[in-house]
């Protein structure tokens, strides 16, 4: 018999209660699917949007194991979770999606790179190192050449754990710990394609998004959909995302971040096994949101249409530099008076410089207009303390 998820006792467990978790619980709530969230902070974004909140550390074996036993299906909104506990739960017959083996590969940028290489998927050339001293030695012995990019194998995010090494001077500040170094790519554009694969094998990709970075914060500033790229590149990027999800035999939502280089070659930068910052706009600008698609994929339901309804620019609402403390929002009227603006506030109580506090999606059939509105909003809508 088909399993009943809707308006039933079925419980979807989510490891992590950040903004991605919040938006996932909202999508589940639209279908009256019960959610249980595990997070170490009782003030996390999803604590008040889920049906049941469990306070605890998603990196602790016992906490994750006990949490898993209480729910029917476990999924994640963050990959830095205790994979061993998920493996044990899976062995004991619990449904865990995405599969813990895949999370293990994705959590480690070294294993990720090896996976691309073993599956003939395009990525920049790389080498693994167990310590920063070994990198210095390799440079001295002329086994590797400057410039290069050093990345910690584990637990880097939002640009932390990434270091561009331009010259021998930079070797003093290498990141400590097991890392990889890779060729520094001359970036023409940074692209992202979110793709979903259902447990029944169906695959669908979302339209290509172009990511623009704030050089000061090294955080994504504007996410533009559709990306301004040729049809050929668009098709290539979508095909590559589909190749990755299939090669990995992955079930759920996978975000594939890519580089478009000076020769119009596409290289995979990294992947994320969950809803992604580059998919927030799908809530309003695509027929099916990434959050609904993730639910469809892990529940083995038919995937939804990923047709673009209207172009959009997504702006992360970041904590203003120089402010730390109880959050206040300034310029709400200017923001909401702008046509086509959709505001999402994550509900974090405390702001810090560059902390992701929310996002704004600007819908406009003309992307030049959308950009003007985005600039206006960035100037007027501020997160202060």
Q: Which parts of this chain interact with ligand ADP (CB under 6 A)?
A: 124, 149, 151, 156-162, 182-185, 187, 190, 213, 257, 269-270
What per-residue string of b and e applies to 41-51 under the rule 16 or more CB within 10 Å gives b? Answer: eeebbbbebbe
Q: What is the dihedral of CA 77, 80, 85, 90, to 10 degrees?
A: 50
Beta-carbon contacts of 61 under 8 Å, excluding residues fewer than 6 positions away, are 82, 84, 85
Least gap, CB of 360 to ligand ADP (angstroms) = 21
Q: Which residue is nearest to ligand ADP (CB)?
A: 185
> Please, what is the minimum distance in Å from the beta carbon of residue 81 to ligand ADP?
16
In the three-class reduction of DSSP (H, G, I as helix; E, B as strand; rest coil), residue 195 is classed as strand
- Residue 169 to residue 167: CA distance in whole angstroms: 5
Of the candidates 260, 261, 262, the one whose C-alpha atom is nearest the C-alpha of residue 208 is 260
Minimal distance in Å, beta carbon 109 to ligand ADP? 7
* CB of 199 closer than 8 Å to CB of 251: yes
Among 35, 19, 24, 91, residue whose Cα is nearest residue 252: 24
Q: Which is nearer to ligand ADP, 13 or 110 (CB)?
A: 110
| CB nearer to ligand ADP: pick between 146 and 187 | 187
Neighbouring C-beta atoms of residue 17, cutoff 10 Å: 31
Q: Which is nearer to ligand ADP, 219 or 384 (CB)?
A: 219
Identify which of residues 105 and 149 has a Cβ nearer to ligand ADP in the complex. Answer: 149
- Nearer of residues 190 and 243 to ligand ADP, judged by Cβ: 190
To ligand ADP, the closest distance from the beta carbon of 203 in angstroms equals 24
Give the shortest CB-63-to-ligand ADP separation in angstroms.
Answer: 25
Query: Containing H/E element for 241?
Result: helix 231-247
Q: How far is the CB of 34 from ligand ADP (least distance, A)?
A: 32
Question: In whole angstroms, how close is the CB of 162 to ligand ADP at the nearest point?
Answer: 4
Which is nearer to ligand ADP, 224 or 298 (by Cβ)?
A: 224
Nearer to ligand ADP, 10 or 213 (CB): 213
State how far the Cα of 307 lies from the Cα of 309, in Å rounded to an integer: 6
């Amino acid at each position: 018999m088909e399993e009943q998820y809707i308006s039933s006792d079925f419980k979807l467990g989510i490891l992590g209660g950040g903004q991605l978790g919040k938006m996932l619980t909202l999508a589940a709530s639209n279908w009256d699917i019960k959610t249980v969230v595990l997070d170490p902070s009782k003030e996390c974004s999803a604590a008040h949007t889920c049906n049941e909140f469990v306070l605890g550390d998603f990196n602790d074996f016992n906490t994750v194991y006990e949490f898993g036993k209480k729910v029917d299906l476990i999924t994640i909104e963050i990959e830095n979770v205790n994979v061993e506990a998920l493996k044990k739960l899976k062995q004991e017959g619990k449904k865990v999606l995405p599969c813990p083996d895949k999370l293990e590969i994705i959590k480690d940028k070294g294993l990720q790179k090896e996976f691309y290489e073993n599956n003939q998927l395009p990525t920049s050339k790389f080498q693994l190192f167990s310590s920063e001293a070994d990198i210095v030695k390799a440079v001295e012995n002329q086994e590797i050449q400057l410039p290069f990019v050093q990345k910690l194998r584990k637990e880097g995010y939002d640009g932390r754990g990434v270091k561009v090494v331009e010259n021998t001077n930079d070797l003093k500040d290498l990141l400590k710990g097991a890392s990889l170094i890779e060729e520094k790519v001359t970036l023409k554009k940074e692209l992202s394609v979110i793709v979903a694969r259902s447990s029944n094998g169906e695959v669908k990709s979302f339209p290509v998004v172009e990511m623009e970075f704030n050089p000061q914060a090294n955080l994504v500033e504007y996410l533009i959909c559709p990306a301004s790229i040729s049809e050929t590149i668009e098709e290539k990027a979508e095909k590559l995302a589909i190749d990755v999800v299939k090669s990995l035999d992955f079930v759920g939502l996978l975000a594939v971040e890519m580089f478009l280089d000076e020769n119009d070659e596409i290289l995979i930068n990294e992947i994320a096994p969950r809803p992604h910052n580059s998919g927030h706009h799908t809530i309003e600008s695509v027929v099916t949101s990434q959050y609904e698609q993730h639910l469809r994929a892990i529940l083995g339901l038919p995937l939804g249409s990923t047709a673009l309804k209207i172009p959009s620019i997504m702006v992360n609402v970041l904590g203003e530099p120089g402010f730390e403390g109880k959050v206040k929002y300034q310029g709400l009227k200017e923001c909401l008076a702008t046509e086509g603006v959709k505001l999402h506030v994550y509900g974090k109580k405390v702001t810090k410089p560059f902390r992701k506090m929310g996002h704004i999606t600007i819908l406009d059939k003309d992307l030049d207009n959308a950009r003007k509105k985005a600039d206006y909003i960035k100037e007027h809508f501020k997160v202060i303390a």
